Structure 1
């Protein structure tokens, strides 16, 4: 893929998905500007861990997505914006919901307002399968009702609507991609797959977990990244919302058992009450209808179905169990 001299800004570039996306874009010959969250440690998050030869190709802008002036400054000279910056931890949204409104909704407003003023070619806004809430119909298409079952999901619904309102009101070229449960190397330990892997890898055989019965549609990071790139390149994606998921549904309990089997360990599970969501807030079932992504974007998952999940989990386990990576995680603590 040769893309010439397009300059792409990635917000949330210091995070899990963002850092992988930055790597892929550099390899596809884009000029990449990484918007990272300013901190006094000069940390670029996960970008500190990408290969040095890729890091040298990167322009980094440290700022705060909540600051409209900094956002606009970062976007100057950029052709395309991939907007991933967000607060995403559901438990923390119970604790501090106002920060989710400021970061997710107002941050998105800052992006689309600057895109309008600077006449950016395209904005890809990142949504989440959590906006659907517990599935009313399966598989979940883009037409499924939106249900805010946590302050996090409500803030993302608001962000999605702000983004799409600028397309409808001002013709701002916005596309929305809606990933389902992405997993892989560098994911936060607040998520179920890293939680299980890091506990087992550190010798824990009685795992502390939350609800086991909900089902999820787990998408490997490489597939999610390719979905972003397909959406970015496809002109017909403007004004559209597109799911990125496998369509393969599995329970949390089955996922834990699968991880333990791949790691060749016998484990027991205990319920840690602090990891349980409030009853009406728990999303019981998620399973993607990805036909729109296939038809509109020409995208399909390489890690779909059970075999794909096993391959993706195996690669994820290999990364997490490397000592230099495992040491970065506090397996004994519950991360909200």
Structure 2
């Protein structure tokens, strides 16, 4: 472990953030988990934290859009891993304002607080969606940025804000750019949980959007290992680094593979509600991950077709546990 001891994780209540919080605790870090304040006093997925880490992290309930709360949460922290964001692409079509407030202004709040408190490392979370449809493959960090949706545009803005604080104020910012992460606890708005939960609920014909686009799916443990490597590495300051499997697969092939693993025949129907506007669809994503290997000594453990299958097996096992499946609304379109 590096000399960083106390870490603030924003978005710790979410899919990736909860897994990351658990791994940090297991790694000996003192973790403050920033979760979204709500009247239910819910800590999101941290309410279901593994037994070996439960009660071993601090929770701060607030709102990333509130600069005072972010300032308070940052006190005494050596580093911040900033994951808090609105990420659902369909929701960004009809509520773009809140994406600007959460993703851009929220990131500004984190950067301002980190600068004020002299934080030694800021890891800001980007997304492969900022690349839009690949102009060349595999996609390296020099690929042009294309805002195909209000969500991706807001993340481009957040990324550039983070880099501006490095350039303007020498804030030690690194940007991690994960490709499509999947695994236990993922939201049903994502395609892999959509397929698994519909099949597990006994539906014969699953509803999907476009099946021809390709993605570079990244198992969640590989993604959070990327965060840890970036946190602990002296390299990568002022840089953007892809975290991806370097394996390209179509949505249609993914659906067939899930059906094969679950022992079910997969027949899908196109649900027009799930189709992105023509010019907004990202047709192809395929990560070049050489910079992560060079700068962070990171490489995926769930790489290529065999690794993707192993990741899906583990993901399916989690989602098909009755206690987990019942938390998902399989009969509706989750945006």
User: TM-score scaled to structure 1, two decimals?
Assistant: 0.99
- Paired with 2:245 and 2:208, the residues of 1 have a C-alpha distance of 24
**Poorly superposed stretches of 4+, deviation over 3 Å:** 2-5
Equivalence for 2:183: 184
SS for the counterpart of 1:112 is helix
Contact 2:24 2:31 (8 Å CA) reproduced: yes
Q: Which residue of 2 aligns with 1:209?
A: 208
Distance 1:225 1:335 in 2: 25
Aligned counterparts, 1:1-336, within 5 A = 2=1, 6-336=5-335
Cα drift, residue 294 of structure 1? 0.5
SS at match of 1:144: coil
| 2:255/2:266 contact within 8 Å kept | no
In the aligned structure 1, how far is the partner of 2:4 from the partner of 2:206? 49
Deviations 1:306-332 (A, max 9, x none): 000000000000000000000000010
Write the deviation string for residues 234-255 of structure 1: whole angstroms up to 9, x where unpaired.
1111111000001100000000
Is the Cα–Cα contact under 8 Å of residues 3 and 30 in structure 1 kept in the other structure? no
**Distance apart, 1:5 and its partner CA:** 6.9
1:53 deviation in Å?
3.8
* Conserved 8 A contact 2:244-2:287: yes
Q: Deviations over 1:177-225 (max 9, x none)?
A: 0000000000000000000000000101101110000000000000000
Q: Tell me how many residue pairs correspond in the alignment.
A: 335
Note if contact 1:11-1:34 (Cα within 8 Å) is conserved in structure 2: yes
Superposed CA offset, 1:63-115 (max 9, x none): 00000010010000000100000000000000100000000000000001111
Instruction: Check conservation: 2:145, 2:156, Cα contact below 8 A.
Output: yes
CA contact (8 A) 2:4 2:79 kept: no
- Structure 2: gaps (5+ residues): none
Q: CA offsets, 1:129-155, max 9 Å, x none?
A: 000000001000000000000000000
Q: How far, CA to CA, are the matches of 1:83 and 1:4 in structure 2?
A: 19
Q: In 1, Cα distance between the equivalents of 2:102 and 2:5?
A: 27
Name the TM-score, length of structure 2 as normaliser: 0.99
Paired residue secondary structure (1:236): coil
